[in-house]
Amino acid sequence: MSLLNQPISYLKGVTVNKANLLLTELGIRTCNDLLHFFPFRYIDRTRYYKINELLNTNSEVQILGKIISVKSVAQKRGSRLVAKFSDGTGTIELIWFKGQKWIKDSLKINESYVIYGKLNFYNGNFSIPHPEMELEKEANKKIKSKLQAVYPSTEKLQDKNVTNRVIRGYIQTLLKEIFEVLGESLSNDFKGKYSLISKRDALLNIHFPKSNDALAKAQYRLKFEELFFIQLQLLRKKLINKQKIKGYVFESIGEHFNNFYANYLPFDLTNAQKRVLKEIRKDVASNAHMNRLLQGDVGSGKTIVALLSMLIAIDNGYQATIMAPTEILAIQHYNAMKELLEHVNIDIALLTGSTKAKQRREIHEKLEDNSLKILIGTHALIEDKVKFHNLGIAIIDEQHRFGVAQRSKLWQKNELPPHILVMTATPIPRTLAMSVYGDLDISVIDELPPGRKEVKTVHRYDSNRLSVFKFIKDEITKGRQVYVVYPLIQESEAMDYKDLMDGYESISREFPSPKYQISIVHGKMKPADKDYEMNRFVKGETHIMVATTVIEVGVNVPNASVMIVESAERFGLSQLHQLRGRVGRGADQSYCILLTSFKLSADAKVRLKTMVDTSDGFKISEVDLKLRGPGNMMGTQQSGVLNLKIADVVKDTPILQQARNAAIELLDDDPNLSKETNEEILRTYSLLKRTSGIWSNIS
């Protein structure tokens, strides 16, 4: 067994205690872990300062000199250890508060030291607390590097004296021992093609860079490799799924589809809708299983694509289902589908948590005897004892609300898995989609139906409230309807509820009945009451809808033209974008007013400005990713992007693109990685396949 697979305590100088500390604090167990524990920054160690040229503006300095005396100085609590350090041009003080005894014993008087640390200036004297120091003769024996690596650390490690210098020492010992036998994970051809340096040189220079240029090359090689193997896994998984997992074949476009398309389609499809439909048709006509993500901004017209896809399934003798994340949405899908299918003879039903037992039984029967063709519902679909006669396609709306396990549950009811179409109105930045959904096919509706007016968006402070109310009145006079939305954050539900109720009261005062009618919807209401209130608004019986974010997804009231977001600074970008998407659905000019207090964080300012400046969901999602990082974006939890050791999905977009292309090209040429030239790649890939979480994710 190679040293790399051994625990780090096998390394010279690493005690069991230190090994345990490194494991609990940094997750480093084996030598290989240590080798792949990468610095997060570097300091230039080529420059030596002379003591007489130090300025109190210098922050971190390196000096060559000798200790001329050491003493303990009593202070209020305990003492400090002070060493006078001279380089011939002047003296400074080195100071220690912790580990004084141990340090005092180890200091050598009148020997040359290289010291490095943060420079303090106090009472006309320079000092360096807890400097990094090394005897010059020792420093000269080290691997020469121009830049010095700085590793992530923790307080506990600092306390126990496992400093950066110690870690660098361990890595140095390890590198010296294994450098000659360090294996390669990419072939020479491959490295040549993508201008990558050897793995060995990359690892050496990432820890001990010889030059800025060598460091850049090392970083590139290691980032490329990391992203390449993730893409290789995702793309191979997709390939294998295509080969192995069979899907029902929908051979032809039949009667229902053609009838609907020719006679009842309420509008011409946009080019984007046509293109996406073609992509779906191609999938379901092959005998592979469709696993497709449909991304389309709010209002881009995903519903009709869903319906047409379901009609294809039905024409081929199968059933179809739509799963929505909330009851309101399920009802809305149900109503929309029912209306679209008004003149088409297809049985359709709704199943949610509030469906009565009797209806439920009826639905079960009709599903099993195949007379019910479309079932729309919430989680209840999966939890219930629903048995389809033969489910041909499952459409999942807003997938971030559904867990992965739930998705796979759908599969269990069938002989073959139903084709899966996941629809999302939360655009995911392209690069993130590549990493998170790299094994799915992705379709994008990137065009809005014609005639849409952009929603005019403004940011106003709470102090402008009166003019905002005036504006609302004018719009209502014109016959429009208005949303007023309050934040809902799980942790402070009670407080949010109070905000909402206070808001409702003040709006009720400002907009008195009977002239104005107000609906209110929030999470604490019974579903039936919620529906009742929603419906009054949908039917135009109420003018104002006061709500928490329950209306965030999917709700469609074309006559609503104003969206007021209260405490807008508390919403995330994607939520704001979703909320704004509730208006601008009709022919009239619509408005979104973001109300905030005066106190705004820097991030909140960026969010508000982004909303005012653009309505492009993809642009907004890019900003969101930059602000929040991949860890907080939907869907990333199951993916490998959070465990990246060196690459960064936000900053390393170009490398990600190159790595993905390289993986595509490689698999085109050698889908099973069986060619001799790809031997190294296959070996690394097989190893990763066994150990990485990526393999076990989605569907």
Question: Which residues are near ligand ADP by CB under 6 A?
Answer: 267-270, 273, 296, 298-304, 425, 449, 556, 585
Q: Cα(420)–Cα(317) distance, rounded to whole angstroms?
A: 17
> β-strand 91-96 against 125-129: which pairing, if any?
parallel
Residue of this chain nearest to Mg ion (CB atom): 554
Under 8 Å between Cβ of 38 and 645 = yes
Instruction: Look at residue 298 and give the partner it binds from Mg ion, ligand ADP, none, a contact being a CB closer than 5 to 8 Å depending on partner kind.
Output: ligand ADP
- Decide if 395 contacts 423 (C-beta within 8 A): yes
Beta carbon nearer to ligand ADP, 410 or 557: 557
Q: Shortest Cβ distance from residue 582 to ligand ADP (Å)?
A: 10
Nearer to Mg ion, 295 or 678 (CB): 295
Residues 20-79 that bind Mg ion (CB under 5 A): none
Q: Which stretch binds Mg ion (CB under 5 A): 77-85, 314-322, 495-503, 546-554?
A: 546-554
- Here the tokens at position 329 are 């949405």
Question: Per-residue b/e over 521-531, b at no fewer than 16 CB within 10 Å?
Answer: bbeeeeeeebb
Taking a C-beta distance cutoff of 8 angstroms, is the pair 119, 51 a contact?
Answer: no
Six-digit token string for 310 = 């379901």
Check residue 295 and report its DSSP letter: E
Peptide bond into 514 cis (omega under 30): yes
65, 377, 554, 617: residue in contact with Mg ion (rule CB under 5 A)? 554
Residues in 236-275 that interact with Mg ion by CB under 5 A: none
The token pair at 407 is: 């998705």
User: Based on CB atoms, which residue is closest to Mg ion, 14 or 294?
Assistant: 294
Residue 518 CB, nearest distance to ligand ADP (Å)? 25
The edge-to-edge listing of strands for the beta sheet with 319-323 is 348-351, 374-377, 319-323, 391-397, 419-424, 291-296, 441-445
- Secondary structure percentages of the chain, helix, strand, coil, to 5: 45, 20, 35
φ, ψ for residue 30 (rounded to 5)? -100, 170
Question: Which single residue brings its beta carbon nearest to ligand ADP?
Answer: 301
Dist. CA 267–CA 273, nearest whole Å? 12
- Which is closer to ligand ADP, CB of 247 or CB of 301? 301
Q: Which does 270 bind (CB under 5 to 8 A by kind): ligand ADP, Mg ion, none?
A: ligand ADP
Closest to 83 in 3D by CA, of 101, 97, 106, 67? 67
Q: By C-beta, is 7 or 558 nearer to ligand ADP?
A: 558
The tokens for 121 are 């200036």
To ligand ADP, the closest distance from the beta carbon of 302 in angstroms equals: 3
In the complex, the smallest distance separating the C-beta of residue 617 from ligand ADP, rounded to whole angstroms, is 10
- In the complex, minimum distance from the CB of residue 309 to Mg ion, in angstroms, rounded to a whole number: 14
Q: Which does 90 bind (CB under 5 to 8 A by kind): Mg ion, ligand ADP, none?
A: none
Is 584 a binding residue for Mg ion by CB under 5 A? The answer is: no
CB of 585 to ligand ADP, least distance (A): 6
Of the candidates 302, 260, 622, 595, the residue with the CA atom closest to the CA atom of residue 446: 302
The least distance separating ligand ADP from the CB of residue 426, rounded to whole angstroms, comes to 11
In the bound state with Mg ion, the residue whose beta carbon lies nearer, of 131 and 554, is: 554
Shortest Å distance, C-beta 374 to ligand ADP: 16
State the sign of the Cα–Cα–Cα–Cα dihedral 526, 519, 333, 348.
positive
Nearer to ligand ADP, 333 or 459 (CB): 333
Residue 269's binding partner among ligand ADP, Mg ion, none (Cβ under 5 to 8 angstroms by kind) is ligand ADP
Rounded Cα distance, 344 and 352, in Å: 24
- Residue 39 touches which of ligand ADP, Mg ion, none (CB < 5 to 8 A by kind)? none
Least distance between ligand ADP and beta carbon 486 (Å):
23
Give CA–CA dist 303/337, Å, rounded.
8
Choose the contact partner of 392 out of ligand ADP, Mg ion, none; CB within 5 to 8 A by kind: none
Are residues 413 and 321 in contact, defined by beta-carbon separation less than 8 angstroms?
Answer: no
Indicate which of Mg ion, ligand ADP, none lies near residue 179 (CB less than 5 to 8 Å, by partner kind). none
Binding region for Mg ion (CB under 5 A) out of 234-242, 491-499, 547-555, 668-676: 547-555
- Residue 302 Cβ, how far from Mg ion at the closest point, in Å? 5
300 binds, among Mg ion, ligand ADP, none (CB under 5 to 8 A by kind): ligand ADP
Q: Strand 291-296 relative to strand 441-445: parallel, antiparallel, unpaired?
A: parallel
With contact defined as beta carbons under 8 Å apart, do 245 and 415 qualify?
Answer: no
Label residue 415 exposed, middle or buried (CB < 10 Å: 0-12, 13-18, 19+): exposed
Q: Supply the minimum distance, in Å, between the C-beta of residue 58 and ligand ADP.
A: 57
Binding site for Mg ion (CB under 5 A): 554
